[in-house]
Amino acid sequence: MSISKIKNAAKSLKTFQGIHFEQCLDHGETAELMNKWLLEVSWEVANKVGGIYTVIRSKVPITKKEYGNNYICLGPYNDSFVKTEVEISESKNEAIRETVNDMRRYGVHVVTGNWLIEGFPEVVLFDIGSAAHRLDGWKGDFFEYAHIGIPYHDRESNDALIFGFCVFWFIGTFIEQLKRTKKCYVIAHFHEWLAGIGLVMTRLRNYDCGLIFTTHATLLGRYLCAGATDFYNHLSYFDLDKEAGDRQIYHRYCIERAAASCAHVFTTVSKITGIESEFLLNKKPDILTPNGLNVQTFAALHEFQNLHAQNKEKLNAFVRGHFYGHYDFDLDKTLYFFIAGRYEFSNKGADMFIESLARLNHMLKSCGSDVTVVAFMIFPTSTNNFNIESLRGQSVAKMLRDTVQNIQSDIGKRLYEICLKGNLPTPEQILHPSDFIELKKCIYASQRSSLPPICTHNVNDDVHDPILNALRRCQLFNARYDRVKVIFHPEFLRSTSPLLPLDYEEFVRGCHLGVFPSYYEPWGYTPAECTVMGVPNISTNLSGFGCFMEEHVNEPQTYGIYVVDRRYKSGEESCHQLAQYMFDFSQLTRRQRIILRNRTERLSELLDWNTLGIYYYRARQMVLQRTHPEFDEELLKLTNETLSTPSTPAVSRSSTPAPPDRDEGTDDEDEPDSYDKVTNLVIQNILFYSFIFTVEIFSLKRIR
């Protein structure tokens, strides 16, 4: 695929049934005109727990362009995050203020303000603890309406219930407040089962609200995959109630399934998760909503290459210290591979990665390669301190570096003084005996009898740690003759670390290859982040990202996107394929790797929210068609009324051009273009709804 083909692919993604996504982004003009509101509900609004936080945070700017100030995020109040991420203030909207004050009168602590991210969206956060006294009553109500009981001991589910009823309360009161002025169109978009109770109650109480439910991963799917089952080949054979009951998540599974069933529109993030939902939730998704990113574009192509070089040098500094005493490899011929994510040993493919590294080590030694691969594994787990050998290595390297810099400075001064006198320096004048003594001290201090550590921290209960046991089984101990070195970093990366002072983005940019051979990965933000940063990566056809790339990119391998077949091949074949991919990459020249990074970075446009945001737009249009089929007629009618009413200086918008003078005449180019914009949007919506209506009629005929 050339650059033009990639741009055409991105353009085709942005267009659906005549709808051009850019034309829908009117900064909330249509939403304000129609009193149309979008409520985004998630446990991870201003509350970083997992990947959904990244989805919502990165999606906010493009959503604000469509809804403007009629976009609100609802989430739980987490004091530690609110202090750093939210600017607390009272809402300027009267309906929101009245709704929040009504809840406060009944003892619920509600915080409003703006999320300090790009787009600056308005947030409403509910303090779970302040409403805990209503837990038993709400449990009874939920059982009465949904027939789902929640056990007392499940703290997470109890919190989800309180949060769900607070959201349900807010939506009901908010709609009442909006309807006091004029008709409103409210869409509530719920993410994951933790927010699902609010959706279920809103639907069962028949509130005038369009409901969307997005599952980013199914509960049962994650548990079953972690249990070493042949998941995808046995999807239709699982006894779902029994499997959920055996894992003591039956009530959670019921909440998730009820939310998918009660939603007017059900979405998943990828085709592979859609197949999973069809069997585990008994609901086929109405539309797929892949996850995007806010892509940073560079003015020149060499800029991200420079970032790679700068951050690679920081990794080089860490490696010099970590492997002191065994530092016998050339950093110019060293490649940095990495795997990162939630510590799910099998689901994230860490088992296959380690096995493939052992095979890669054998392949490199067998062919006599002088390339060294340093493989990082970033999986946060329980630790009690830094590994003392890791700290000593960085200390020794720093001491040697400081000593050499001091001697280098002294040599420079001596050379200057000697040459200033008109003499040529002798070796004895350049290096004094005291300099030799200092250098010998540092060299002797850098000697080591033990092997470099495979883990940077002391892991609690390391005897039963899956990664450490796998490394022991594969005998990857960082021996001198090994061509593959391994470093397990069981903590989140941060720039203040005394060992590896890099944040995650800097670390990724400094690496050469990201490896993510996941068995269960509904989407996969890690390979997507690698792609937009120009870092080649390996994923699988069991991840949403891998499937998306295979579908939209012709020969993705030529663009640095390697996809391992874990669905149709055996584990042995998949492991061999992964090892071969890594070996082939290690044999590329420096120039070939630079070209590949440039090609990988070109694909970033496909993953930008400006491209993928249309999928969420389509979901919202679909829910309006199902809950308010009269929306388009009302929009056209209201538009005509608004444009036919003479504007006055007091009420006209700043974008409305001033009427021409009689002497100037009237020219077509001077007429307001707002009518054309809104009319085009209405026509596009009608085309879209006609398509949806035709599909539903056809489906009904097939059923009959």
What's the rounded Cα separation, in Å, for the pair 106 and 412?
Answer: 76
Name the residue among 423, 320, 450 with its Cα closest to residue 372. 320
Statement: the pTM of the whole predicted model exceeds 0.75: yes
- What are the domain boundaries of the chain? 3-288, 302-387+453-607, 388-450
Give me the phi and psi of 562, to 5 degrees please. -95, 130
Give me the phi and psi of 496, to 5 degrees please. -95, 5
Instruction: Give residue 271's Cα distance to chain centre.
Output: 17
Same fold, 3-288 and 302-387+453-607: yes
Name the residue among 572, 565, 514, 573 with its Cα closest to residue 542. 565
Instruction: Give residue 653's Cα distance to chain centre.
Output: 38
Query: Consecutive 10-residue runs of the chain (704 residues): their mean pLDDT?
Result: 63 62 84 94 93 94 95 96 94 96 97 96 97 96 96 96 98 96 95 97 96 96 87 92 95 98 97 96 96 79 85 94 85 96 94 98 96 97 93 86 86 87 84 83 79 95 96 95 96 92 96 97 94 96 95 94 96 97 97 95 93 94 93 73 50 39 40 48 54 48 42
What's the rounded Cα separation, in Å, for the pair 541 and 521?
Answer: 10
Residue 36: strand pairing partners? 185
Please state, in angstroms and as integers, the Cα–Cα distance from residue 490 to each residue in 336, 339, 521, following that order: 17, 12, 21
pLDDT, position 660: 41
User: Tokens 């029994």 identify what position?
Assistant: 242
Q: Which tokens go with 519?
A: 């068995």
pLDDT, position 8: 63
Q: Which tokens go with 327?
A: 């530092």
What's the rounded Cα separation, in Å, for the pair 341 and 504?
Answer: 11
Q: Which tokens go with 131?
A: 């409403």
- 3 state SS of 214: strand
Question: Topology of 3-288 in CATH?
Answer: Rossmann fold (3.40.50)
What's the rounded Cα separation, in Å, for the pair 460 and 449?
Answer: 25
Q: Which tokens go with 470?
A: 């796998």
Q: Can you point out the beta strands (E) in 543-648?
A: 561-564
What's the rounded Cα separation, in Å, for the pair 337 and 539?
Answer: 13
What's the rounded Cα separation, in Å, for the pair 44 and 40?
Answer: 11
- 3 state SS of 645: coil
DSSP assignment letter at 539: E
Query: Is the domain 302-387+453-607 a CATH 3.40.50.2000 member?
Result: yes
pLDDT, position 672: 43
